[in-house]
Amino acid sequence: MANTKSTSPAYVGFGMLTPVYIMALDKLPKHNTGAIVHQVSDYVYDDAAIIACNLRQWDVPTAMIGTAVGDDLLGHYVADTLKKMGVQGKVRFTKKYKTPLEVNISDKKGARTYFWQRTPEILGTLDTADLSLIKKSKLLYVDWYDGDHILRAMEEALRHNVPVFLNFEHGHKHPELLKKYAGLVTICQAVTDAAQIGKRQAMLSVARKLFKSGIKTAIITMASQGCMVVHGEEVIRVHAPKVKAVDGSGAGATFSAGFIYGFLNGYNLEDSVRFAIAAASLKVTQPGLQMFPVKEIKALAAKLRIDRMIYRGDQFYDIKKLLRLKQSGPLVDHILVKEGRKLAEKYLPKKKIERKKIKRSLVE
């Protein structure tokens, strides 16, 4: 990792700071029984901090604006870990409470069970955090579960024209929250349980809801089903590869880190999503949060299957279906058919060439 002390952070995370212990085992035990833990990893959570550390492993300059931690052993572990990773930002210490702790338990199916400490007193320290790091950054990341404490940071980003990435998860179910955050958000990552088990209409419904609220880029994650991203009229569905899951902890944050990596490096939409899915898929194959090298992630990303759609007039249209229409049919001159072919010509051939170049360069 490169030294970033004199470099303005490209990424700034805003949110909770807590140490975490991640325990990997075969299967969660029944109530009042036990299980053998194969490996224990430690890291710094929540998602904003995970992403900051993950991006540092890919040499992106990052910073954290977080909650205060206790002036104790665990609090200093958090500060020392962020410093060692090269994450900028001052960690504040307090004697008013002990550093909160999180414990995650992951099984072979990729499921995770977690126990965390989050009190209003701890989250309230976000309201007095110094926001000066945001001004020169290229992206601010916030989590919806930190509540209204994130609004001040989002408004600061808006004042300086800094894009905001909101991890909204299931928050889209609350219309009042969507209305409150939508005008401050550039990229929104959400999830729906129905989409995670492969229900396409649920995925499209959430994407439509986010997009109609005014959010420029809507991301719907679907765990092992991959994800869908809507930006303007462009819709891309990327299917996740089949992998043997060992530890699902931090997979969502790793996906976010992957997409942000692409965004900060000027990737187009498809390449950003491919990189994000590949990074998250590789992450779950090993315990802990040691990231795979960019080169390996790109190699997997180039092999992923994608579907393309057009979003227009509040409707989603499958490009492949439009292209399969007969050249002499009654719809050949329809605007959607024409636009579908234009998009295919714009993206599909170009992508094939780029993927060949990527594969060739990896071999060489």
Q: Is the dihedral of CA 349, 259, 176, 182 positive or negative?
A: negative
Percentage of the chain beyond pLDDT 70 is: 81
Question: Which pLDDT score, from 0 to 100, does residue 364 have?
Answer: 33
Question: Which pLDDT score, from 0 to 100, does residue 348 have?
Answer: 54
Within 10 Å of residue 189's Cβ, how many Cβ atoms?
28
Q: Are strands 102-106 and 62-66 parallel, antiparallel or unpaired?
A: unpaired
Residue 37 pLDDT greater than 60, yes or no: yes
Name the strands in the sheet holding 112-115, side by side, starting at the edge strand that comes first in the sequence: 37-45, 18-25, 102-106, 112-115
Total H helices, total E strands in the chain:
12, 16
The model's pLDDT over 310-336, given as tens digits with 9 standing for 90+, comes to: 776 666 666 555 444 455 555 455 555
Residue 356 pLDDT greater than 60, yes or no: no
CA distance 169 to 228: 14
The highest-confidence range among 65-79, 173-187, 350-364, by mean pLDDT, is: 65-79
Q: Is the dihedral of CA 175, 153, 136, 68 positive or negative?
A: negative
Residue 72 pLDDT greater than 80, yes or no: yes
The model's pLDDT over 153-185, given as tens digits with 9 standing for 90+, comes to: 999 999 999 999 999 988 888 889 988 998 999
Confidence of residue 351 (pLDDT cuts 50, 70, 90): very low
Beta carbons of 295 and 361 less than 8 angstroms apart: no
Question: Which pLDDT score, from 0 to 100, does residue 133 have?
Answer: 98
DSSP assignments along 65-133, one per residue: EE--EESSHHHHHHHHHHHHHT-BSPPPEESSSPPP-EEEEE-TTS-EEEE----HHHHHGGGG---GG
Residue 205 pLDDT greater than 90, yes or no: no
Mean pLDDT, to the nearest integer, of 343-353?
51
Confidence of residue 344 (pLDDT cuts 50, 70, 90): low
Q: Could you tell me the domains of the chain?
A: 11-316 (3.40.1190.20)
The model's pLDDT over 235-292, given as tens digits with 9 standing for 90+, comes to: 888 999 999 888 888 889 999 999 999 999 999 999 999 999 999 999 988 888 899 9
| More confident site: 361 or 152 | 152
Question: Which pLDDT score, from 0 to 100, does residue 358 have?
Answer: 39
Question: Which pLDDT score, from 0 to 100, does residue 359 have?
Answer: 42
Confidence of residue 197 (pLDDT cuts 50, 70, 90): very low
Question: Which pLDDT score, from 0 to 100, does residue 33 have?
Answer: 94
DSSP assignments along 241-257, one per residue: PP---S--TTHHHHHHH
The model's pLDDT over 102-121, given as tens digits with 9 standing for 90+, comes to: 998 887 766 678 898 999 99
Question: Which pLDDT score, from 0 to 100, does residue 316 have?
Answer: 61
DSSP assignments along 245-295, one per residue: -S--TTHHHHHHHHHHHHHHTT--HHHHHHHHHHHHHHHTTSSS-PPPPHH
Mean pLDDT, to the nearest integer, of 359-364?
36
> Average pLDDT, whole number, for the chain?
85
CA distance 86 to 297: 22
Instruction: Give the pTM.
Output: 0.85
Confidence of residue 353 (pLDDT cuts 50, 70, 90): very low
Question: Which pLDDT score, from 0 to 100, does residue 5 have?
Answer: 60
Confidence of residue 212 (pLDDT cuts 50, 70, 90): confident
Q: State both tokens at 157.
A: 């980003």
Stated as kind and residue range, the H or E segment containing 22 is strand 18-25
Residue located via tokens 């989250």: 123
Percentage of the chain beyond pLDDT 90 is: 54
> Which residues touch 229 (CB under 8 Å, ≥6 apart)?
217, 218, 219, 220, 235, 236, 238, 269, 272, 273
